[in-house]
Chains A and B, each alone.
Chain A
Amino acid sequence: NAGVMQNPRHLVRRRGQEARLRCSPMKGHSHVYWYRQLPEEGLKFMVYLQKENIIDESGMPKERFSAEFPKEGPSILRIQQVVRGDSAAYFCASSPPGQGAVKNTEAFFGQGTRLTVV
């Protein structure tokens, strides 16, 4: 069972371009989380998705950022018109459905995508 796969590992974009980050969850996992990590700032929650549904996007910037987790294929985090401040490591985690509201499951992390905006 492969782990959580993120690609690309490194992504360089010029200001104004679009960045697409992909996350393939572990087999059998229907929940995906996206986090942004900046030096000295820890992991900032961005969005929590289930297949075809956005459960919680309270951590997503209101503009330029979007996420999806289609029925087939990986989850995509999309950043339009990137700016220098978007440079960061973006991590995806996946977990199985679990039971109840608290789930009682653990989340497994991918290797991350390091986005650099030049």
Chain B
Amino acid sequence: AQSVSQHNHHVILSEAASLELGCNYSYGGTVNLFWYVQYPGQHLQLLLKYFSGDPLVKGIKGFEAEFIKSKFSFNLRKPSVQWSDTAEYFCAVRHPGRLYFGRGTQLTVWP
């Protein structure tokens, strides 16, 4: 069965620091890859997605992610975080139709 690993469960940063959240998945075939964000008390919103093509994808709010097929990874990055980025971040992989989610990473940004 597909599995999605997010290695950082809780990340604490100061504003303007750079962010990288790791995501690895277990399936080697064709997949769809996603990062979702959940702000406190809200539902999940899509940050970015990868279906095919350029492995470096840009999403909303300055986030980007890089798909490295050889490493089965889809890490999320942001050069300079803001206090408003405090939220929980979920990596998700679709194969074939079912969406598998990682455990989530809680990001706390101090002003």
A101 contact set on B, CB distance < 8 A = 30, 95-97
Stretch at the interface among B15-23, B64-72, B76-84, B100-108: B100-108
Does A96 sit within 8 A of B, measured CB to CB? no
Identity of the chain A residue whose Cβ is nearest the Cβ of B10 in the assembled complex:
A40
A102 touches B44 (CB 8 A): no
A107 to B45, CA, bound (A): 9
Cβ contact of A111, chosen from B42, B46, B49, B97, cutoff 8 A: B42
Question: Which one of A11-19, A41-49, A64-72 contacts B?
Answer: A41-49
In the bound complex, do residue A56 and residue B90 qualify as a contact, i.e. CB atoms below 8 Å apart? no
**From residue B84, how far is it (CB to closest CB) to chain A in Å?**
20
Tell me the complex Cα distance, A3–B44, Å.
12
A93-118 Cβ-contact flags toward B at 8 Å (1 or 0):
10000000111111111111000000
Say whether B51 faces chain A, with CB atoms less than 8 Å apart: yes
Contact A42–B101 (Cβ < 8 Å):
yes
Q: Given the interface contacts A43-B90, A111-B43, does A48 sit within 8 Å of B97 by beta carbon?
A: yes
Contacts of B13 in A (CB 8 A): none
A42 near B103 (CB under 8 angstroms)?
Answer: yes
A102 touching B32 by the CB < 8 A rule? yes
Q: CA–CA, A33 to B98, complex, Å?
A: 8
In the complex with contacts A42-B90, A43-B104, A109-B45, A31-B34 CB distance below 8 A: no
Task: Check: B87 CB closer than 8 A to any chain A CB.
Answer: no
A106 and B43 contact, Cβ closer than 8 Å, known pairs A35-B101, A42-B90, A45-B100: no
The 9 closest A-B pairs by CB, nearest first: A101-B96, A42-B103, A43-B101, A109-B44, A42-B104, A104-B51, A109-B43, A111-B43, A48-B98
- Kindly list 12 other residue pairs between chains A and B, CB separation below 8 angstroms, not including A43-B90, A102-B94, A105-B32: A42-B103, A43-B101, A55-B97, A56-B97, A91-B44, A101-B30, A102-B32, A102-B96, A104-B51, A107-B99, A109-B44, A112-B43
Can you show 10 pairs from A to B with CB atoms below 8 A apart? Answer: A41-B103, A42-B90, A45-B99, A48-B99, A55-B98, A91-B44, A93-B99, A102-B32, A102-B94, A110-B43
